[in-house]
Amino acid sequence: MQTSRLAAKIDSSMVYDNISIYHHSFIFTKSKWAVVQQAMEQKGSNAIRFQWFSDTVDKKDIANEPHTAVAASVHKKTIDLTYKENSWARAGSLEALDEYSNIITSGYPGRHKLLYDVDLSSTARKAIEMASTVNPKDYKELLLVKGVGRSTIRSLAFIASLIFGKELAYRDPAAFAYNLGGKDGIPFPVQRGTYDNVIESMNYIIDASNIDRQEKIDALKRLSAYIKA
């Protein structure tokens, strides 16, 4: 399924450097879908979990802030090409695709040599040439071109940075971290006192919130499931 392929491509190639998706689940009904996939750093033992839900995905740009959650055991800043602040780079990658052959890597300003590891290897060049032949009409079609992976996607973003004279934005992609610990003791055992305090605070927030009675009841029911656990 095309959406499943795109989710895997985006998370493996656009969010973090040097990760590999090793678990991918696509769940769907007649009208909605969700993705849960797990990645591991190629160097190290840190795992990253990505979650998607169809209702929150930008229909005009599937690569624009697509996640309902990104959970990681560590926090670090990276060039996240799904970041809304990098929307210009996604759009500019199509122009970069047309102009890449005119870019002479030896002519890059020194600051780009320091900031970016631009990969225009023979493999990346062949993938870009293939994409140029396909002539994608939008970023989604570019992502679906066979052979276009992390190095190609990032190379085009770097070239777009040179064309437009803008720096790519960094951020910590993780929206959630395991700050209460894990049941398996990783990264550390669950801190029951902190866990209970968080649930108590959430209970207070829900009870005091300005939502209708049924929504409040439903929210409290969901919260009670965690309290029982």
- The set of residues, in sequence order, having a beta carbon less than 8 Å from that of 46 and lying 6+ positions away, is 40, 72, 73, 74
Whether this prediction's pTM lies above 0.85 is answered by: no
CB 100 within 8 A of CB 159: yes
Place of tokens 């969901």: 222
- Report long-range pairs for 98-101 (Cβ below 8 Å, ≥24 apart): 98/132, 99/159, 99/163, 100/128, 100/132, 100/155, 100/156, 100/159
Place of tokens 């052959």: 101
Residue-level pLDDT at 31: 93
Report the half-sphere exposure of 190 (CA within 13 A, side-chain side): 10
pLDDT tens by residue, the chain, 229 residues: 899 999 999 999 999 988 999 999 999 999 999 999 999 988 777 889 999 999 999 999 999 999 998 988 777 889 999 999 999 999 999 988 887 655 534 444 554 444 445 555 667 677 777 888 888 999 999 999 988 999 889 989 998 998 889 999 999 998 765 566 666 665 567 777 877 887 787 778 777 777 888 887 887 777 677 555 5
Backbone φ and ψ for 180, nearest 5 degrees, come out as -100, 0
> Smallest Cα–Cα separation from 40: which of 69, 79, 74?
74
Place of tokens 């870009």: 128
CB 14 within 8 A of CB 86: no
Residue-level pLDDT at 147: 87
- The set of residues, in sequence order, having a beta carbon less than 8 Å from that of 140 and lying 6+ positions away, is 6, 61, 62, 63
